[in-house]
Amino acid sequence: MVVNDSDTAISTGQERVLIYHLREVIKTREAQGVAFKLRVPSLQIALGEKIALIGESGCGKSTLLDMLTFISRPSSEAAFKFRPEAGAQPIDIARHWQRGQLNALSDLRMLRLGYVMQTGGLLPYLSVRENISLSRRLLGLDLGNIELLAEALGIEKHLDKRPSQLSTGERQRVAIGRALAHEPAIVIADEPTASLDPIAAEAIMALFIEMVEALNITVIVASHAWRHVHKLGLRRLTLKTHKDSSGRMTETIVSG
């Protein structure tokens, strides 16, 4: 694959639109004298791709996802571009950070991204229906077809319940519904099935991937349930960690 800085990649003669284009992105962190460095030499993700983020606990998966969702500012970067629509110009995220345009970043996050959290992150005082439609309401969109989405997720009977009246697996399905309801360009999921037993985790992961495929949404998922990466057709992004001999410096390099 040939990559250029205009955010397209030429692969076997076909042009692919890159939703993310990162070059030499670095995030450093320090806590109690222990330094951590995440380095992304080069990362290109095409619109519609399905990515699995794989690496041991503490290697920096959430750190990378926080940068990809514009929550956390890279310590340095050569390029960080985001292009949520094929027809539009790429957005220079690095420049937004440099200029302190935090509102623009948060608008971009609300409009273009969906996020599935490890434990669902649902609002306990809202019904399932209200939780799912929240992103659309915040964006001033009509409520869309919540029933149809709930049916696809197998939670149509629970729409008027509160999250506390659901099982963990049902809550995770609602969280997926909430992340997809406004049809974002990309859905990011950080260990979305970690609190489920392996069989439920597998079923929900398969359903999640099936739905993003049907909606043609790009997906990045960090998870430990990796037996099915191949079966689900995900591209593997690997995080490899090295410690220096003193144990005070950890570096993770993202590749794939």
Ligand X SMILES: Nc1ncnc2c1ncn2[C@@H]1O[C@H](COP(=O)(O)OP(=O)(O)OP(=O)(O)O)[C@@H](O)[C@H]1O
**Which are the contacts of 165, defined by CB distance < 8 A and separation ≥ 6?**
158
Closest approach, Cβ 214 to ligand X, in A, equals 28
Closest approach, Cβ 244 to ligand X, in A, equals 14
Q: 243: buried, middle or exposed (CB in 10 Å: 19+, 13-18, 0-12)?
A: exposed
Q: Tokens 């699995």 map to which residue?
A: 52
What are φ and ψ of residue 224, in 5° steps? Answer: -90, -10
Binding partner at 241 among ligand X, Mg ion, none, C-beta below 5 to 8 Å by kind: none
Binding partner at 70 among ligand X, Mg ion, none, C-beta below 5 to 8 Å by kind: none
Closest approach, Cβ 231 to Mg ion, in A, equals 23
Binding partner at 20 among ligand X, Mg ion, none, C-beta below 5 to 8 Å by kind: none
Query: Nearest-CA neighbor of 17 among 54, 57, 48?
Result: 48
Closest approach, Cβ 185 to ligand X, in A, equals 23
Residue 76 or 165 with smaller CB distance to ligand X: 76
Tell me which residues touch ligand X (CB under 6 A).
29, 31, 36, 55, 57-63
- CA 95 from chain centre, in angstroms, equals 21
Residue 64 or 91 with smaller CB distance to ligand X: 64
**127 binds Mg ion per the rule CB under 5 A:** no
**118 binds Mg ion per the rule CB under 5 A:** no
Residue range at the interface with Mg ion (CB under 5 A); choices 53-61, 77-85, 133-141, 148-156: 53-61
Residue 133 or 223 with smaller CB distance to ligand X: 223
Residue 42 or 118 with smaller CB distance to Mg ion: 118
**62 binds Mg ion per the rule CB under 5 A:** yes
CB 151 within 8 A of CB 120: no
Distance, CA of 50 to CA of 60 (rounded, Å): 19
Closest approach, Cβ 48 to ligand X, in A, equals 25
Cβ-based neighbour number of residue 104 at 10 Å: 14
Which residue has the CB atom at the shortest distance from Mg ion?
Answer: 62
**Rounded alpha-carbon distances, angstroms, from residue 155 to 90, 128, 141, 172:** 37, 9, 22, 10
Query: Nearest-CA neighbor of 163 among 196, 123, 191, 198?
Result: 123
Closest approach, Cβ 85 to ligand X, in A, equals 29
- Binding region for Mg ion (CB under 5 A): 61-62
